[in-house]
Amino acid sequence: MPLPEVHLVAGTPAEAVRLAPVALAMREQGRLTPIAVVTGAEPDTVGATLTQFGLTPKITLPSGADDAGTMRRFDDLWAARTPAAVVVRDGLAPALAAYWRRVPIMTIDAGRRSGELGSVSALESQRRMLAQITTVHLAATPLAAMNLLDERVIAGDTLLTGGTAQDAAQLLAARTIVAPPREKRTVVLGLPTERADAIGPALRYLSGRYPDLEVVRAADTAPGLELATLLAQAYAVVTDDEDLVEQALAAYCPVLMIGMESQHGEALLAGSARLVQPDPAAITSEVAALLETPVQRDSMAIAGNPYGDGLAAYRIAQATAALLGHGQFPDPMPAKPVAGVAR
């Protein structure tokens, strides 16, 4: 009897990094057949990221001209090849197509919120809409689970699994260790081009002050193994990208976050990240402080990653199998003690 087929839909390299450990865990547990589906504006890049984890995308479905077009493409796919369940992260269009086909939807990293409904980015609205049609919400943190409760999501439909960025970092760790060490202290800049250009002169000044400083743009690095290697060797990361924050923390690299206080409150509380104003002077001042006091930088690094324990993918795979009648749901991820607080 064939195993239930589960489609894992990745539309960006960041989604591919987080879904790859889930597919591998499903394969290892032997209760489901994971099928990687790549989509988005650059499906080839997404597929290349998956291959770095030893996964071969089985289905490639480029996005349509708009969300409606993307939905139609997924509806056509699932009319011909209906999966037992679908796993998504932020993919509203494939989730809607699955919903209308009455296919259960598992959403990883569920409950992430900026608190800025109607902001410039439509992502917040999409995430809230996705929560309305999700079957099982797989939250990375207690705060994310609380966000879902605040939106009247049934508590029994939410499972605290942790985030799979930590799982991905561990899968790639053996290959990053053998990379040659960087000769200089590397600060990774994960910012849009216009913002990176704005602080460029200030960082060049820092490079003159600290000859052993090297500034590298994350955008110039390929996702997957190359980025994981860079983060594992980096001295610090400066970014306004919520995905890069999680990947850096999974590599035990301190993060200076521009904005995102509401998205990453756990990292601020743990001490592994700091909030910095979007001003070149403020950013360079914080970077200089870490360069001047390595012990301060190291204390941030050992605070670790509050978003996962390396077992999230196994919980997600087990929960998906349980939903389909194979085994029991896993226990939630144990709460992590807050740094500096006795338990």
pLDDT in tens, 88-128: 999 999 999 999 999 999 999 999 987 666 554 678 889 99
* pLDDT at residue 123, rounded to an integer: 81
Q: What is the CATH number of the domain that holds 74?
A: 3.40.50.2000
In terms of residue numbers, what domain contains 249? 178-302
* pLDDT at residue 29, rounded to an integer: 97
Mark whether 294 and 198 lie in a shared domain.
yes
Mark whether 109 and 155 lie in a shared domain.
yes
Mark whether 314 and 297 lie in a shared domain.
no
Mark whether 250 and 215 lie in a shared domain.
yes
Mark whether 141 and 194 lie in a shared domain.
no
Provide the number of structural domains found in the chain. 2
Mark whether 18 and 141 lie in a shared domain.
yes
Mark whether 16 and 158 lie in a shared domain.
yes
Phi, then psi, of 208 in degrees rounded to 5: -70, -35
* pLDDT at residue 107, rounded to an integer: 98
Residue with the bigger pLDDT between 195 and 85: it is 85
pLDDT band at 338; cut points 50, 70, 90: very low
Mark whether 154 and 233 lie in a shared domain.
no
Residue 205 belongs to some domain of the structure: yes
Residue 333 belongs to some domain of the structure: no
| pLDDT digits 0-9 by tens, 54-74 | 999 999 998 888 889 999 999
Mark whether 93 and 155 lie in a shared domain.
yes
* pLDDT at residue 279, rounded to an integer: 86
- What is this structure's pTM? 0.92
pLDDT band at 341; cut points 50, 70, 90: very low
* pLDDT at residue 200, rounded to an integer: 77
| pLDDT digits 0-9 by tens, 217-271 | 999 999 999 999 999 999 999 999 989 999 999 999 999 998 766 678 889 988 9
* pLDDT at residue 261, rounded to an integer: 67
- If you average pLDDT over every residue of the chain, what do you get? 90
